[in-house]
Amino acid sequence: MTIGTRVAPFGLKPWFSERVWGKSDLKPWYEETGTTELVGEAWLTGPQCLVESGPLKGQTLASVAEKMGGEFPLLVKILFPADKLSVQVHPDDAQAKAMGETRGKTECWYVLEAEPGATVALGLKAGVGAREVAASVESGTMELLLEHVPVSVGDMLFVDAGTVHAIGPGVVLLETQQTSDVTYRLYDYGRPRELHLEKGLQVIKAETQAGKVVPQEMGGFTRLIEQRYFVVDRFEISATRERTVAFAGAGCLVGLAGSGVVRTPDGELELTPGRAVVVPMGDGDVVVETKAGVSFARCVAPV
């Protein structure tokens, strides 16, 4: 987001995306979704998300970013799969531009909830390439070609562009990604949805940097991942405390547990689970304080 006018941090209302693999009940994260359809994703910093309070109330994130000379660089979501997601792949920036898209899609998943035995599919087994993938789609055996990774609460997984991947049921994930929705669906377990096999096979990479990321204690917070497009950290603040949180690029705070407030020049913003507070400036600090304890993620696009 290129900044032309100074804008104080602001809270966004989540936008709920209906998905065939989603859930009808997103509690305890959300009491209501506003739809009777299955919801698979809560977009926390989607272009269509509305500012909840302050002088920008009612405006979309996209319109606020446009007035400031750019767009918000990160799309942050919470995923709620009740069924298997399709097996898919995303292009990198160069591949996406060659196909007429604005940018690629590199992402990461932070595991918020995980049932015993939950897994995600991340990458192809050794020796598997586009030819084997195409044949497995025809035979309905593609799941056998995937590396299935067991996951538990607190795991961070890097999903490099070009990585064939899928998410199974039994997890809730915080996804941080480039602001892009370019997805090539390779396989969908026979569900009657469009596949993008030709494009998907073109962008598959046999080897990527995808996998679990070891957290780093940074003195006051935990660095979950640091990559070209995003840095994600977790903060834990105990009762009746406050913390100054630095931002070296545009980003947001996402409430994970407990509650707190973010102090801004325009007043205070609530920081609660499943909600994002956008920090558009990327050149200053915000103060988070709590009376009963709060846990939150800081998602930043490096400058």
Query: Which residues are part of a known binding site for Zn(2+)?
Result: 90, 107, 165
Q: Which residues are annotated as a binding site?
A: 90, 107, 165
| CA of residue 21 relative to chain centroid, distance | 17
| Tokens 């660095």 belong to residue | 223
Could you please report the per-residue DSSP string of 150-193? E--TT-EEEE-TT--EEE-SSEEEEEEEES----EEEE-TT-S-
Alpha-carbon separation of residue 41 from 175, 206, 241 (angstroms): 10, 28, 32
Q: CA dihedral defined by 152, 204, 17, 11, rounded to 10 degrees?
A: 70
Radius of gyration of the chain (CA): 19
Omega before 28 cis (within 30°)?
yes
Q: What is the Cα–Cα distance from 248 to 250, expressed in whole angstroms?
A: 7
Q: Which residue is catalytic, options 19, 103, 185, 298? A: 185
Active-site residue, 185 included: yes
Contact 155, 112 (CB under 8 A): no
SS3 258: strand
Contact 256, 242 (CB under 8 A): no
Q: What is the Cα–Cα distance from 43 to 77, expressed in whole angstroms?
A: 4
Q: What is the Cα–Cα distance from 292 to 195, expressed in whole angstroms?
A: 48
| CA of residue 101 relative to chain centroid, distance | 20
Dihedral sign for Cα atoms in the order 16, 22, 27, 29 = negative
Contact 111, 173 (CB under 8 A): yes
Residues with a catalytic annotation lie at 185
